[in-house]
Structure 1
Amino acid sequence: MKLVKVVACLFLALGLALPVSAASIEKPECIAPAKPGGGFDLTCRVAQIGLKDQLPNLMQVTFMPGGIGAVAFNLFNTTRTDDPNAIVAFSSGSLLNIATGKFGKWTADDVRFLAAAGADFGAIVVKGDSKYQTLDDVMAEFKKTESAMTIGAGGSVGSQDWMKAALLLKSIGKDPRKMRYVAYDGGGDAIAGLLGGSIQLYTGDVGEMVSHLGTGDMRILAVMSSERLPAPFDQIPTTKELGYDAEWTIMRGYYMGKNVSDEAYNAWADIFKAAYKTEEFAKIQKDKGLLPFNMAGEEFDKEVKRRVEKMRGVAREAGLIK
């Protein structure tokens, strides 16, 4: 806070207008659009911990489940369009929902994409005591029939978690539309379903598994990346090295309401840019199973919207939209 005062005095002495800064963000809040325990929770924790030295007050995390992000997206397009204190967590799954029209009339142009939290990857997960010891064991079952196992994840048919499972089946020439798939409202519910025996296979995210490593509750059979990930995931094989053409990279990040001021938007972007340069932010990314993908501000907004357009094309090819 002393530095803020010094900068303020300097600007006043020079007769310049004070810029909007971190000090103006009095009640920082991150909206996690799902129940606790899933990927959106993880994304908000990255901001809460990674920005604690950049903000005047500790960020509050608010959970807003419903429609795999649709409720929050609607709120920030209606009543909180200009909220300068709030950021909302999103993932590539959110972008896929936007691309396929699952957020109703709202499009990628109806929010301002702010900053990235990092990159995550798909994970093929079974319960700790599952008889399936390897991904090959699982795929051998699916080669018999697409309905050999019940798959579950935090998203409906056409969501990114469904796409992960679909890519697995397509890699062995099977029809994804015939698989038994259970849709949950977030990763936390899907994990509970796996541990409770309601599903046999969970197509989740690597980042969600960090807190479960070493517990014996679950086992990651493979990660859906092109190369092996750094520790603590370096001992887990990739789908690619096991011979299955099924990769899924997940972008995690934050958006703000479409009517938020340029001053507030740029202040948040500058906060993230400053945090990216710190060891603390790199540590929380690693601790949460994320790889660095450090981009904020207008450049990030353009990149996200480019990806949405690309996803729309892929979804059209898959017959999910016309």
Structure 2
Amino acid sequence: MFLKRLLMAAAVAAVALPAAAFEPSNVECIAPANPGGGWDFTCRTVGRILQEESLVPGAVQVTNMPGAVGAVAFANVASKRNDDPNLIVATSTVGITQIAQGKYPAGIDQMRWLGMLGADVGTMLVNKESKYDSLDAVLAAVKEDPAGVVVGGSSSIGGWDHLRFLILAQEAGVPTDQLKDIRWVEFSGGADAVTQLLGGHIDVVLTDIGEIGGFIQSGDAKALAVMSDERLPAYPDIATAKEQGIDAVGYNWRGFYMGGGVPDDAYDFWVEKMKALYDSEGWQTAATESGLTPIWRGGEEFNTFVRESEKKAAEISKAIGVIN
């Protein structure tokens, strides 16, 4: 009888004990591009700080897996490592745009979205001598005649710079079926676009502020708005689009996803550690020095943000004929 009671007590105690918390090992970060790019920077910088802050045991292995603007890495994780709790993958706004346009082998539900740590922020610029003196003036002109304003940036038609301008136009009341009529000129970089703006060849530029900050600081170009939730510390005098009545953000963010089969305890662990990394002096310094604005969205908040971003990108891509 005594032995039976002892065994029963042991069984109850075992049930009462909490499950062991997830502990990572042999952490790996996939950068879906060649060394030297934004995704590579994200993996290597975050990997280094995770180790320096003792947020994970040991070093973080970085694996470069280029191909199809992140689709190769996405497919590899989905088919081979969907439940690997020690694997994180760098991604950005570009990846979500590709998914929205059907260029990845599956949709956003295939993965678990961890968080964003920082972003380059979209800004609208005009020549300092432009007749357009406000965001409202530009968008009013586009609304009146969608083909009457020539806009440029560092992406192709359907790319993120283009979509950001169309988001602003749509929020300002340009009918969805007229978005395709807005004249867009692609340049190889934001600086090239601003150079053409200063030469009078285009009317407006929409691109990342990190690429063209020097033109704003010199006074050669005038920034009419930034597409962020709040004003940027580096440019406190530039009002957000939201402040000016246009409820739109345009982040070129940097962040991570994990395989869709990763268990909750591992996912929650990584959300917590990414927030701790974001709060560290090491990340705040590294992000700022690289031209990023530190911005945090994590866990369910980030998951919602990704879904809303994908939906908006798909809607506008259909409107301009990039996808059916």
Please give the TM-score of this superposition, normalised by the length of structure 2: 0.64
For 2:8, the equivalent position in structure 1 comes to none
How far 1:232 moved relative to its partner? 0.8
Partner of 2:308: 307
What does 1:1-322 align with in structure 2 at a 5 Å threshold?
19-22=21-24, 24-26=25-27, 28-33=28-33, 36=36, 40=39, 43-44=42-43, 47-48=46-47, 50-51=49-50, 52-53=52-53, 54-55=55-56, 56-57=58-59, 60=62, 62=64, 64=66, 66-67=68-69, 69-82=70-83, 85-103=86-104, 105-118=105-118, 121-125=121-125, 136=133, 139=138, 146=147, 148-154=149-155, 156-157=157-158, 159-170=159-170, 171=172, 173=174, 175-182=178-185, 189-191=188-190, 193-194=192-193, 200=202, 202-206=205-209, 208-209=210-211, 219=221, 221-225=223-227, 229-239=231-241, 245=246, 247-250=248-251, 252-260=254-262, 265-287=267-289, 288-296=291-299, 299-300=300-301, 302-304=303-305, 306-307=307-308, 311=312, 314-315=315-316, 318=319
Name the SS of the counterpart of 1:280 in structure 2.
Answer: helix
SS in 1 for 2:240: coil
TM-superposition CA deviations, 1:170-216 (whole Å, max 9, x none): 538584312333557xxxx433653775985542234x448868886
Q: Find the aligned partners of 1:313 and 1:149 in 2 and give their Cα distance.
A: 23
RMSD: 4.7
- State the alpha-carbon separation in 2 of the partners of residues 223 and 177 from structure 1: 23
| Residue type of the alignment partner of 1:70 | A
Letter in 1 for 2:304: E
Alpha-carbon deviation of 1:94? Answer: 3.3
Mapped partners of 2:34, 2:214: distance in 1? 19
Shift of 1:309: 7.1
Once the two structures are superposed, what CA deviation does each residue of 1:75-130 show, in whole Å capped at 9, x if it has no partner? Answer: 33235545555432333453344345342x5011111212221455322257xxx6
**AA paired with 2:180?**
R
CA shift in 2, pair 1:190/1:88, >3 Å? farther
1:285 CA drift (Å): 4.7
Question: Partner letter of residue 124 of structure 1?
Answer: M
* Structure 1 residue 312 displacement after superposition: 7.3
Cα separation, 2, equivalents of 1:274 and 1:256 = 18
How much does 1:254 deviate? 0.8
Larger radius of gyration: 2
The number of residue pairs the alignment matches comes to 291
- The structure that is helix-richer by fraction is 2
Question: Contact (CA 8 Å) 1:167, 1:246: kept in 2 or not?
Answer: no
Specify the SS of the correspondent of 2:270.
helix
State the identity %. Answer: 24
User: After the TM superposition, which of the residue ranges 209-218 and 56-65 deviates more from structure 2?
Assistant: 209-218
Give the unaligned 5+ runs of structure 1: 1-14
Partner secondary structure for residue 136 of structure 1 = coil
Deviations 1:220-247 (A, max 9, x none): 6233347651421212233455x57363
**Aligned-partner Cα distance in 1 for 2:185–2:234:** 29
Q: Which residue in the other structure is 1:8 paired with?
A: none
- CA gap 1:78/1:63 in 2 versus in 1, 3 angstroms: closer
Whole-Å separation in 2 of the counterparts to 1:180 and 1:272: 40
Q: Distance in 1 between matches of 2:319 and 2:125?
A: 25
Give 1:111's aligned amino acid: M
Cα deviation for residue 293 of structure 1 reads 2.0
The unaligned stretches of length 5 or more in structure 2 are 1-16
